[in-house]
Structure 1
Amino acid sequence: MSAPSAAWPCPAPAGPEPGFVYRGRWALITGASMGIGEAFARALAARGMNVILCARSAGRLQSLAREIADAHGVQAHAVAADLARPGEAARAWREAAALGPIHLLVNNAGFGLRGRFEGLAADRQAEMVALNCTAVLELAHLALGEMRPRATGGVINVASIVAFQPVPLMATYAATKAFVLSLTESLAEENRGSGVRVLALCPGPTPSGFQAVAGTNVQQGQPGYLLPGQVVDAALRALDAGEVRVVPGAVNRAAAVLGRLLPLGVATRIARVINEKRG
């Protein structure tokens, strides 16, 4: 059973639609080859949305697109792109938009690294910033530029539970997700009443390919653990409700609240202890 999706405590922007319209429209999902991105692709297709899957792995994307199209009777296409590279976000958007107007952008692509800041390669951390921040910014900019004149559409930016406080041993990753959360909440306010919905999704521990790259562990039964499908269900309920921020799962919502209410130094030291134990 999916965890409750209520966000806290963030007012919803007004919009002309009581719920988001999916059927027959197009969605672009980045990081769609596995984990939360794949779950978004499947859930949106089940709602009748045509989906464009974007990630680096062309073979996996094409196979998944065929599977989704056959299962749900929608159009599904693959756009292979390395969004951390300059110009790739704009190229991916052009290829996607050539298929039809994009009514929903899911900015999910990203990765993390665990370790002491000076011990991690600077160029690899810069690549993380390019993917987690710059590509998110560029795609959101392109999406809103087309959605606002139509007075309809949506943008879901995938942040993280770590966006609410600094996280030692994952310093750059947490900083990128704080950027995503802050940007998204500002864009949601800018677009209040425009008909375009902007949502920050802040998941907690969720099994995906993220852990293999980041060097972290996620185990079923640990506090806040949710499956990708549960995270996506919470996100789409929040999008339908016009919410601005959603933290799926009661444990994760409590952690997010504490991250902002505790003195910053205390919250940061607690985050370090937890990260050291889970590494």
Structure 2
Amino acid sequence: MNNLRANYERILEVLRKISKDNLLAYQRRIPKLSDLELISLSLTSEYMGIDSENHLFRILPKFFAGKIERTVYNRRRRRLMSFTNMIRLQLSEIFNEFENYFIVDSMPLEVCKISRSTRSKVCKEEIFSFPDRGFCASQKMSFYGYKLHAVCSVNGVFQSIDLSAASVHDIHYLKDIQHQMSDCVLIGDKGYLSESIQLNLFETVNIHLDTPKRKNQKKYKPQFYVFKKKRKRIETLFSQLCDQFMIRRNYAKTFSGFKTRIISKITSLTVIQYINKVIFDRNINNIKISIV
């Protein structure tokens, strides 16, 4: 895992199968480091746990010498954010094309500690992107920042992701789901309990939302054992994002930078899953493993 160039070339090999080298329109000159090469370098650094750009440019091999500067790399990386997410969607489609069962959940993403929230300027350049204070019921803690909402397949491949302020309730994310998915079973926890939302999803896009009921509800019955077991798959994915990809460590100062980092980490995870399946034919969720 310590050979940065070998890992970079492996990831670039995968990306070239599904995308072209230059993704943006350049009016003057084509850059020495193509767009796809830049995305590959970004995904490689996330896979190897290098989340500091200063450190990345200190250890880059001579192969990259003179091709790009750190500030240009950071600026172009943010401009390529939508294309990075498009690559993630293309790879997830390969995995999830015939999937009928998905899991929905959310996780907290801290921007800073609550005690520093009033004087912190991180991600406050625009009113719409202001972080907020929220509460995570599963971890029983208050936090200041954002929520990562996600849908993954039962095999552990992210299908849909989104960011919201921490105070936004999980159930509001389901209103966006009906524009992205249809004809499937969606498994969630008690945070997604809503009879009106459940009925709307079923009538509009034929999504059956299955959530455990509270014990004091009428006609209570426990959630189907298999669904209860499969729901842990997304919790394991969140743990992998926190452990290897360090998704909760934030060095970004702007919301676009913050969002770019989140998308890069999840795309990197999806690329490694693709390499595990297509190239090595092994368990896709063995993330801490060599890809060369």
Asked if TM exceeds 0.5, the reply is no
Rg: which structure is higher? 2
TM-score of the superposition, structure 2-length normalised?
Answer: 0.28
TM-score of the superposition, structure 1-length normalised?
Answer: 0.29
Structure number with greater CO (CA < 8 Å, separation at least 6) is: 1
